Amino acid sequence: MSVPTTLALVGTTGGAGTTRLAVELASALAADGRGVAILDASFATHGLSDYVSGTLSPDITQLVTDEVDEPLSSGLVNLDIDAAGRVAVCPAAAPFERLARAMTPDAAQAFEGRISDAANRFDHVIVDTPPIASNPAVAAATTCERVALVAPASVRGADAVSRVRARVADVGASVDAVVSTFGALDDADVVIPESEYAAVTEAPAANEDDELAAGVVAAASVLLDIELSAITESGGVLSSVEGYVRR
């Protein structure tokens, strides 16, 4: 069985930690020598843009509207990480007028093409996806090989899982796993613990926080069928990984 290339991390609520999980997971994969692209489907929030500096031109919304003929590489920005591999991100940073045009069905079809293009160029593609309530989110859920719901460990997060799972089914896709963040939900398949290294400027933090590292390694195993070796050299990480897999 081949390792999945494309993964949609679908937030079930605002503030679920989906973007941070995408960055931590991608960085762990890069530490293992892999090339990873993170594409932003959360056009309205611009959360992924916080992890890079400088002017984003073209951003992902331009690449699915005005700049559809430009190569994906023109919108990719490398994360500054110490890793054998590479993490390149394509964030959204759009004015309202372009944001509206990037939400159309035609733009969603172009976004599907960008996912496929990235899959041809990288070992893995992670799509930072908002709750299924927009065309870009639907494109991510229906195009990616794996779909994971990301829910905070709270009553609100637990309630949102069933609602967003139903929306994923409504668009003809299926949920492969549920990831709980900031602690454990009872029905989560994998748990990402809360970390003291919460600031954007501290990401990626798995190399500083063994518990976070163990959760990220568990996520790679559950979501992508990958056993990461580069960040499990510490005995503390290796011995605790199973505690973050709930299956």
How would you classify residue 35: left for phi > 0, otherwise alpha for psi between -120 and 50, otherwise beta? beta
Instruction: Give the three-class secondary structure for 139.
Output: helix
pLDDT of residue 195: 95
Lowest mean pLDDT among 57-61, 76-80, 173-177, 205-209: 205-209
- Which domains are seen in the chain, by residue range? 10-241 (3.40.50.300)
User: For residues 129 and 110, what is the distance between their CA atoms, to the nearest angstrom?
Assistant: 16
- Classify each residue of 140-177 as buried b or exposed e, where b means 16 or more C-beta atoms within 10 Å of its C-beta: bbbbbebbbbbbbbbeebbebbeebbebbeeeebebbb
pLDDT of residue 116: 98
User: For residues 247 and 231, what is the distance between their CA atoms, to the nearest angstrom?
Assistant: 22
User: For residues 200 and 15, what is the distance between their CA atoms, to the nearest angstrom?
Assistant: 13
Q: Where are the alpha helices (DSSP H) in the chain?
A: 18-31, 60-63, 96-102, 105-121, 135-143, 155-170, 210-224, 235-240
Asked whether the whole model's pTM tops 0.85, one would answer yes
What pLDDT, in 10s, does the model give residues 185-208? Answer: 998 999 999 999 999 999 999 888
